[in-house]
Amino acid sequence: MTGHGLDVVPAAGWADHVAGLLVDRLAARPDLVVCLPTGSTPLPVYERLPGALAARGVSAGRATIVLLDEFLGLPAGHRARCDVVLGRSVVDRVQPARFIAFDVDALEPAAACAAFEAEVAAVGGLDLVVLGLGRNGHIGMNEPGSAPDAPTRVIELAPSTREAAIGYGVDPPPTHGVTLGMAGILAASEIWLLATGTAKAGILTLTLDGPVSPNVPASVLRGHPGLRVIADDAARPSA
């Protein structure tokens, strides 16, 4: 393992811990530009965030929230769409100044990626990217094989990602998505990699202690000086 921060927190307090860290960042920088993931891992954090903000008297009203990735082929408003999920779980609750997502309805996917990158650049780039850890080591939809310089782009989803989408209520699941690229993730000042539950312990161990390789895209984060890994004790990497 390299010199990044690794927080292992008891499962019962994990979500409050991460919500508290987000409030710290918003308190220090009210105009924070933060990219957030969907998936099941961060949902308990998002549930606690409004209360954690209120308890500390901190507002997200000047912040920009950026969506990490999006499925292709689902209609606007579909309940499994990432913009819908992040909208309901965070944006509606904390009312940031801006929500940057992928405009896959009005634009062709490649054009939606270009527009997304331009919008992120226009707000000064990402201060913080929060990531879930995929079962196959993906981050966002940067599936195994994604090089560190991979841009924001259209990507074919791996079988395990498609399977997970079935759990979100889409069957058959989408075959493709658009994602903030590896290069965009690595350009952020700070990266938090979240992992919870015993099902993530193996891939977290591989991420932190295996070879740094595009085969496990999350392993590439180890070269970033601002990486913080925040796991619960069930996902604790084995020694």
Which one, 58 or 174, has the nearer CB to ligand PGA? 174
Annotated active-site residue in 83, 117, 127, 138: 138
Q: Can residue 2 be called a binding residue for ligand PGA (CB under 6 A)?
A: no
Is 136 in the active site?
Answer: yes
Asked if 134 touches ligand PGA (CB under 6 A), the answer is yes
The answer to whether residues 228 and 189 touch, using CB atoms and an 8 Å cutoff, is no
- Binding-residue pattern over the window 135 to 174 for ligand PGA, x denoting contact by CB under 6 A: ---x-------------------------x----------
Find the binder of ligand PGA among 87, 96, 109, 132 (CB under 6 A): 132
Q: 117, 143, 224, 232: which is the annotated catalytic residue?
A: 143
| Least distance to ligand PGA, CB of residue 194, Å | 8
Task: Assess whether 31 carries a catalytic annotation.
Answer: no
Binding site for ligand PGA (CB under 6 A): 39-41, 132, 134, 138, 164
